[in-house]
């Protein structure tokens, strides 16, 4: 039945992307985008406050936004920081607003493994590895990378990097060489992003909301936002989500993220 959703046709959907884009964040955002489409909202305000995340998760959210943008108006609002994977996701929105001092950019890919070989030698620990091929334990933490392994990983990073560059170039109608000139991992402000053509306007989230309303043919003074949020378990709502360690989206702390994603390509800015 369609009629129960008529009330949403005069409102703007609002989705927040906070923290690292990885794991449960991807599913939460994809589910929210599906809800926006099903309820036939005329516009979406996408608020991004993220330092980046994993390559695959960022690409899936970007692709979903691109598909949705063919049906409704989407405006992305970059908050305090929308860098690396946050930028990639934002490219799925045809219209982008950022504050003058927003930290953005960091267009690039990083892969980092942990080499504990010297520490293991000191404590007398070694590993016996049986493997099916010479590269099956690539980025193993108990040894240094070989030169062929470095070449393999660099080629993988270069391929992922070009995917990023081409996405920005296509989304922002820029030449690939132009994007490459500033897509060297550097961060820049919202003001600089405007000058580079990465965003469309400088402004607050409120100004982004008004723009979304105008694009949808709604009165910006009267149109409300409907924020789609993941419903928390009853216990979490009663006692709060207190964490003892700094966390990212999905309740994962920084150390846990580092360990679980070691050796995985990341679109990630780390201050």
pLDDT tens-place string over residues 204-241: 999 999 999 999 999 999 998 999 975 544 444 344 44
Tokens describing residue 166: 């081409």
Q: Is residue 41 part of a domain?
A: yes
CA distance 260 to 113: 11
Q: Is residue 257 part of a domain?
A: yes
Q: Is residue 125 part of a domain?
A: no
Percent of the chain residues topping a pLDDT of 90: 63
Q: Is residue 130 part of a domain?
A: no
Q: What is the CATH number of the domain that holds 63?
A: 3.90.226.10
Q: pLDDT of 29-84, one tens digit each?
A: 999 999 999 999 999 999 999 999 899 999 999 999 999 999 999 999 999 999 99
Q: Is residue 226 part of a domain?
A: yes
Tokens describing residue 220: 């910006």
3-state helix, strand, coil in the chain (%, to 5): 45, 20, 40
Q: Is residue 216 part of a domain?
A: yes
Look at residue 9 in the predicted model and tell me its pLDDT.
Answer: 78
H or E stretch at 220: none
Domain count, the chain: 1
Residue-number span of the structural domain to which 156 is assigned:
3-109+144-236+245-268
Q: Is residue 254 part of a domain?
A: yes
Look at residue 114 in the predicted model and tell me its pLDDT.
Answer: 81
Q: Is residue 178 part of a domain?
A: yes
CA distance 67 to 119: 49
Look at residue 142 in the predicted model and tell me its pLDDT.
Answer: 83
What residues are labeled active site? 84, 136
């Amino acid at each position: 039945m369609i009629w129960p959703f008529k009330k949403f046709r005069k409102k703007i959907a609002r989705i927040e992307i906070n923290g690292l884009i990885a794991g449960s964040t991807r599913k939460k955002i994809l589910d929210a985008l599906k809800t926006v489409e099903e309820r036939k909202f005329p516009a979406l305000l996408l608020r991004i406050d993220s330092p980046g995340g994993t390559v695959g998760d960022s690409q899936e959210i970007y692709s979903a936004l691109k598909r949705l943008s063919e049906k409704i108006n989407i405006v992305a609002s970059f908050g305090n920081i929308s860098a690396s994977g946050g930028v990639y996701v934002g490219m799925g929105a045809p219209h982008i607003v950022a504050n003058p001092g927003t930290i953005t950019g960091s267009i690039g890919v990083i892969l980092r493994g942990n080499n504990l070989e010297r520490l293991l030698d000191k404590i007398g620990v070694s590993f016996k590895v049986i493997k099916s091929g010479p590269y099956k334990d690539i980025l193993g933490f108990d040894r240094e990378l070989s030169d062929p392994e470095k070449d393999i990983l660099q080629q993988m990073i270069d391929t992922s990097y070009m995917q990023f560059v081409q996405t920005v170039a296509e989304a922002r109608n820029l030449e690939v060489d132009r994007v490459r000139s500033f897509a060297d991992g550097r961060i820049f402000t919202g003001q600089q992003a405007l000058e580079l053509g990465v965003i469309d306007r400088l402004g607050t989230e409120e100004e982004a909301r008004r723009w979304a309303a105008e694009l949808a043919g709604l009165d910006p003074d009267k149109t409300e936002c409907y924020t789609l949020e993941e419903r928390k378990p009853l216990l979490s709502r009663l006692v709060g989500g207190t964490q003892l360690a700094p966390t990212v989206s999905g309740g994962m702390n920084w150390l846990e993220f580092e360990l679980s994603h070691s050796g995985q390509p990341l679109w990630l800015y780390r201050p």
